[in-house]
């Protein structure tokens, strides 16, 4: 890829965000992010994304899921330019398209797509699903096909595209290719040097355990090794999914990291404790344990930052009230018996929309969701108030509001169970 191709790849119009519940890779196409100098650059980057999905073993066994997401600002601003070429390319690559989803809030586009799918052969038509509606409606429809909202790179409220995981994927691909090229050059030079100097079997076995660029080295002060940098990128790009995964899924994710390192020619090595400077291979079980620890270490700084914010906010008993109010505004959230206030109803609606994500989130994730509700209310001009003894109102701290909102999430779950929702 040239520089224009790389810039096109980084814009995020084509992503591989995660897998669906069946473990199949998801190819996500966001037409609203298209940006390229020439159509050839875009086709080259799409071919690169397609072949990256082909490289996944699960894609070879079960196929991939393709999603075109053209809702709101993500609608195609180029009026479908290059559609024919992209369709031809998609049919040419050795991929099994297990499912194709088209999401749109444009009714004309929805009818056009539905008509086009209706005239295709029945075997192909069965794999196409057409969804019409808002962001929330389309994401709920996708979740019914085993594609959770948490796998899609959208923020909870404004549905802006998050590119952090995509850029980590880009860095990982760039690292793999550059280090693999360097490793091939090193091996070629070693072979040339050894043509006239035959090694004994003992020396040859020792030489195979000399650390290469793609190897992961366990021990202190090894973080700057290229293989260790690659391991950190893999762990960081999957940490969000790891935090919400079950125990069996976490074991699968750590095993996949081992597989990804090995597929680049990397090994897991540790230095022999005899001060000779030699290295030995690490057993797979030990490598899995180290990788699981790396996932947990990613979570610790987040928890520490959250605790520091809590300390800055302080608790309600030690911190004076932020503001005294005579009459609450309509968008304010009132803690107490005023359940039918307009701001309270908005808060309950936000909690209801995030309930499924809250139930599967970690402790850190639950706190972040409660904080996102607070931000949304404040962005609409609302405050969080409680009544004083003199019938006036005082604004509470963010920590106090977060506790109350977390309780609202729990009450929502209890109400759903009582009503027999699940």
Interval 131-146: pLDDT, tens: 999 888 899 999 999 8
**What's the CA gap between 137 and 139, in Å, rounded?**
6
CB atoms within 10 A of CB 83: 12
Q: Which of 278, 219, 287 is nearest to 255 (CA)?
A: 287
Q: Is 219 left (phi over 0), alpha (psi -120 to 50) or beta?
A: left
Confidence of residue 415 (pLDDT cuts 50, 70, 90): low
**What's the CA gap between 184 and 152, in Å, rounded?**
36
- Per DSSP, the three-state class of 271 is strand
pLDDT at 245: 78
Is pLDDT above 90 for 299? no
Residues in the chain: 422
Confidence of residue 421 (pLDDT cuts 50, 70, 90): very low
Confidence of residue 307 (pLDDT cuts 50, 70, 90): low
Question: Cβ neighbours of residue 150 under 8 Å, at least 6 residues apart?
Answer: 240, 241, 244, 357, 360
Is pLDDT above 90 for 315? no
Is 372 or 203 the better-scoring residue by pLDDT? 372
* Cross-strand bridge partners of residue 393: 325, 387
Is pLDDT above 90 for 102? yes
In this predicted model, what pLDDT tens digit does every residue of 51-69 receive, in sequence order? 988 888 888 888 999 999 9
Is pLDDT above 50 for 83? yes
**What's the CA gap between 241 and 26, in Å, rounded?**
14
Is 326 or 16 the better-scoring residue by pLDDT? 16
Is 422 or 363 the better-scoring residue by pLDDT? 363
CB atoms within 10 A of CB 310: 15
In this predicted model, what pLDDT tens digit does every residue of 155-165 receive, in sequence order? 876 778 888 88
pLDDT at 177: 78
Confidence of residue 76 (pLDDT cuts 50, 70, 90): confident
**C-alpha distances out from residue 81 to 85, 120, 339, Å:** 9, 22, 52
The pLDDT of 31-37, averaged and rounded, is 85
pLDDT at 321: 47
**What's the CA gap between 357 and 366, in Å, rounded?**
9
Confidence of residue 130 (pLDDT cuts 50, 70, 90): very high
Is pLDDT above 70 for 316? no
* Cross-strand bridge partners of residue 154: 161
Q: Which of 7-21, 162-176, 242-256 has the highest average model confidence (pLDDT)?
A: 7-21
% of the chain with per-residue pLDDT over 90? 10
Is pLDDT above 90 for 260? no
Strand order in the sheet with 97-104: 14-15, 26-29, 64-70, 97-104, 128-132
């Amino acid at each position: 890829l040239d520089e224009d191709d790389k810039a096109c790849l980084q814009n995020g119009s084509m992503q591989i965000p995660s897998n669906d519940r069946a473990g199949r890779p998801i190819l996500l196409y966001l037409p609203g992010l298209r940006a390229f100098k020439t159509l050839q650059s875009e086709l080259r980057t799409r071919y690169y994304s397609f072949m990256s999905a082909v490289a996944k073993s699960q894609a070879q066994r079960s196929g991939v899921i393709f999603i075109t997401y053209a809702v709101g600002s993500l609608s195609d601003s180029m009026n479908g330019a290059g559609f024919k070429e992209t369709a031809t390319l998609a049919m040419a690559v050795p991929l099994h398209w297990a499912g194709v989803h088209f999401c749109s809030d444009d009714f004309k586009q929805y009818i056009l797509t539905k008509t086009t799918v209706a005239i295709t052969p029945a075997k192909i038509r069965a794999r196409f699903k057409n969804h019409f509606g808002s962001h929330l409606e389309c994401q709920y429809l996708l979740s019914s096909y085993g594609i959770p909202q948490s796998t899609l790179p959208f923020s909870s409220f404004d549905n802006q595209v998050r590119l952090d995981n995509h850029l980590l994927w880009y860095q990982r691909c760039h690292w793999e290719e550059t280090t693999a090229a360097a490793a091939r050059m090193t091996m070629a030079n070693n072979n040339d040097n050894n043509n006239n100097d035959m090694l004994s079997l003992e020396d040859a076995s020792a030489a195979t355990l000399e650390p290469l660029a793609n190897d992961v080295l366990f021990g202190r002060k090894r973080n700057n090794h290229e293989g260790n940098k690659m391991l950190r990128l893999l762990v960081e790009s999957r940490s969000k999914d790891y935090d919400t995964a079950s125990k069996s899924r976490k074991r699968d994710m750590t095993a996949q990291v081992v597989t990804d390192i090995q597929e680049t020619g990397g090994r897991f090595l540790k230095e022999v404790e005899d001060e000779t400077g030699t290295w030995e291979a690490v057993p797979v079980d030990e490598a899995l344990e180290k990788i699981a620890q790396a996932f947990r270490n990613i979570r610790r700084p987040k928890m520490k930052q959250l605790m520091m914010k809590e300390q800055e906010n302080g608790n309600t008993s030690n911190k004076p009230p932020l503001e005294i109010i005579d009459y609450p505004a309509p968008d304010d959230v009132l803690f107490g018996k005023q359940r039918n206030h307009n701001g309270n109803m908005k808060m309950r609606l936000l909690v209801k929309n995030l309930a499924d994500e809250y139930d599967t989130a970690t402790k850190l994730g639950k706190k972040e969701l409660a904080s996102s509700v607070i931000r949304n209310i404040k962005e609409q001009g609302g405050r969080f108030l409680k009544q004083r003894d003199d019938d006036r109102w005082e604004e509470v701290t963010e920590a106090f509001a977060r506790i109350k909102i977390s309780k609202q999430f729990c009450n929502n779950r209890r109400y759903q169970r009582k009503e027999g929702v699940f």
